[in-house]
Amino acid sequence: MPSKKAEKTLNLAAVLDLNEASTLRSKLMGLRGSNVAIDASGVERLGTLCVQVLLSAAKTWNEDKLSFTFSKVSEAFQKTMQMIGVDMDHLLAKEIRQ
């Protein structure tokens, strides 16, 4: 069961490519120890390295017994995840699950 700590929101950049991967990792590491809601509503392009960073963070937060969810996702984000075969239903906030 996730901790009752306050939730922090991380708004993802529009372009999550190779150049953004280390920045994304740094931002996530700065939020470690808090419940996190990811806002991916503005994502226009998503590269596989950033997907790996996000999935690694989700695993880390799970191991820390903290919440790591996607509160909003763009169509481009959702389609890219589906296209590369990533099932992220368990990470979606209840409001946006289909």
* Model pLDDT for residues 26-41, shown as the tens digit of each residue: 999 999 999 999 999 9
What is the structure's pLDDT at 30?
97
Average the pLDDT over 2-26 and give the result.
90
The answer to whether position 41 is within a domain reads: yes
The answer to whether position 29 is within a domain reads: yes
What is the structure's pLDDT at 77?
97
Average the pLDDT over 69-95 and give the result.
91
The answer to whether position 1 is within a domain reads: no
Instruction: Identify the DSSP state of 94.
Output: G
Q: Which contiguous run of DSSP H or E holds residue 73?
A: strand 68-73
Quote the domain boundaries for residue 20.
7-93
Query: Which two structure tokens, joined as six digits, stand for 34?
Result: 């808090």
Q: What is the CATH number of the domain that holds 30?
A: 3.30.750.24
Residue bearing the bigger pLDDT, 39 or 90 = 39
Cα 98 → chain centroid: 18
Instruction: State the total domains in the chain.
Output: 1
The answer to whether position 98 is within a domain reads: no
Instruction: Identify the DSSP state of 5.
Output: P
DSSP string for residues in 7-65: EEEEEPPSEESHHHHHHHHHHHHHTTTSEEEEEETT--EE-HHHHHHHHHHHHHHHHTT
The answer to whether position 37 is within a domain reads: yes
Report the chain's terminal Cα–Cα distance, integer Å.
Answer: 23
Average pLDDT, the chain: 92
What is the structure's pLDDT at 96?
59
The answer to whether position 2 is within a domain reads: no
